[in-house]
Amino acid sequence: MVLMHQVMVWELIKVLFSVTEFSGHFKPLNVDDEEDVMHDDKEGTPDIDMEALPLVRRAAFSHWLRESVYHRVQDEISCLNESSDLRHIFLLLTGRQLDAAVELAAFRGDVRLGCLLSQAGGSIVNRSDISRQLDLWRMNGLDFNFVEKDRIKLYELLSGNIQGALGSMKLDWKRYLGLLMWYQLPPNTSLPEIFHAYEQLLEEGKAPYPVPMYIDEGPSEDSMNWRVGDRFDLSYYLMLLHGNDDNEFKDLKTMFSAFSSAHDPLDYHMIWHQRAILEAVGAFSSNDLCILDMSLVSQLLCLGQCHWAIYVALHMPYHENYPYLHARLIREILFQYCEIWSTEETQRQFIEDLGVPSSWIHEAIAVYFNYHRDHSKALDHFLESHNWQRAHSVFMTSVTHSLFLSGDHSEIWRLSTSMENHKSEIADWDLGAGIYISFYHIKSTLQEESSMDESDMSPEAKHVACKDFFDRLNESLAVWGNRIPVDARATYSKMAEEICTLLLSNGEKGGSASEVPLSFKAVVGAPLPEDLRSCHLQEAISLFTYFLSETTT
């Protein structure tokens, strides 16, 4: 039922808002109509005179209306007994099934009635003649008790008096609209005039309310919960939109509420597409439907369809008061639902194909991994997102010390050098990753010096380089403070120890009286454990004593 309703709504949008394409797209009901003769089944779209377009559109709408009420007519006919031929004919007329009505009248031998039925809804003159005949019968005192009541109802309907024909009969709103269009109003009445006439009758309480299909044809308890003016059927709002002469359509928000098309208040998927089509063809223009977009985004996110939620967000209209709404919404989706879209390759690929910046994607994944304490992956994605400051922070507080203590120096070098070109964007670079680059440079230089017979570097230069490095280590410990774990402090001590060992070994190899004191002077300021510092001091005293004894002798 809901699917059929959605199909009919799409057909109605096509009928009311397309320019000329009305031909050959409806399934035939084997029911002829003088309005429907204007349809042809030829391929392609014929050239239509713009002056005739209202009549073409009316014919297409008439055909749509017949199709949409066909099942209601057949359901009521199936409940009739075999002796209710006139009632059967009347029900056929409510669905504009003229062929079937004429055939049934001829079958029961009522040829005159069949002739009248064949002209139903045609000339105003014919309607006036039938109405005048009914008036003459009343004026002349005809006893209507000798005429079947259903026959009188047929005559009233053929005369254009739909209220008299219906009497106390309950009819759904679409068929009532059809009776108004087919039998009461002139055959050249435009669709906006028809819709306004129905709206006027609705306001006067003379027409049935356009109850949403899922209530009108659904369980009885749903109809009991419906209140007058609560919400109307989406098809009715489409008709009002087509007949709207004002710049603004007052019922726009109500029209695009979920309740106008489905019983589920959270189901916005179909009306969002319908809104997009109507805006695209210029049926209306509004920047005040963000609630529809956000509702569909929420619905898709609840279903785990993050990529489609981002698609909807990208197609939200621009609003001057919220110029960055799209970016903020998309990034929020990426961050909040990262676990879903990042683990499904199809979703992630779709998001990339939508043109979402890769830096946003990688940053969201980085935050996700960082939250789950997978800091190595988080660091890689922060680097991919070019978030250098955040990458540097993760590098210093969570990654590098474990790599250093495990001996993975090549990975430390790769990570630190990948950030070096962007060090101007990183706070405390020289006291962070820059320290590791300096460590490997100094270590490499001292190792080369120790392997050479003659040193290219003066003792003073070695002392200055190492002392500067040790000072930066101490300053780095003060800056990062409690943000780095105990393992990181152990890493600093290990770096200082390696440099101290190389520096002292080079000093001993040089053997000059000036070089050894300079080396020990630099070592004193290194961030070493107290036991190592004491050991180096004892060694310095021993060497100093040795030099004194050598000097005296």
Query: Of 169-173, 249-253, 411-415, which has the strongest mean pLDDT?
Result: 411-415
Give the pLDDT of residue 343: 94
Q: Which two tokens stand for residue 291?
A: 């609630």
Give the pLDDT of residue 181: 96
pTM: 0.77
Please, are residues 20 and 56 in contact by the beta-carbon 8 Å criterion?
Answer: yes
Least confident of 23-27, 80-84, 384-388: 23-27
Residue with tokens 């000072």: 471
Report the mean per-residue pLDDT for the chain. 84
Q: What average pLDDT score do residues 243-248 get?
A: 80
pLDDT in tens, 67-100: 999 999 999 999 888 778 999 999 999 999 999 9
Q: What average pLDDT score do residues 414-431 get?
A: 94
Q: What is the percent of the chain where pLDDT is above 90? A: 53
Distance CA 168, CA 487 (A): 89
Fold of 1-190: 1.25.40
Give the pLDDT of residue 526: 77
What CA–CA distances, in Å, run from 419 to 245, 386, 398, 473, 544? 62, 9, 16, 19, 44
Q: Which two tokens stand for residue 476?
A: 């780095």
pLDDT in tens, 122-166: 889 999 999 999 999 989 888 888 888 999 999 999 999 999 999
SS3 content of the chain, % helix, strand, coil (to 5): 70, 0, 30
With a CB cutoff of 8 Å and minimum separation 6, the contacts of 311 are 350, 354
- Give which of 459, 468, 441 is closest to 504, Cα–Cα: 459
Q: Which two tokens stand for residue 163?
A: 């209220």
pLDDT classification of 227: cutoffs 50, 70, 90:
low
Q: Where are the domains of the chain?
A: 1-190, 437-553
Give the pLDDT of residue 394: 96
Distance CA 513, CA 309 (A): 75
Distance CA 61, CA 408 (A): 75
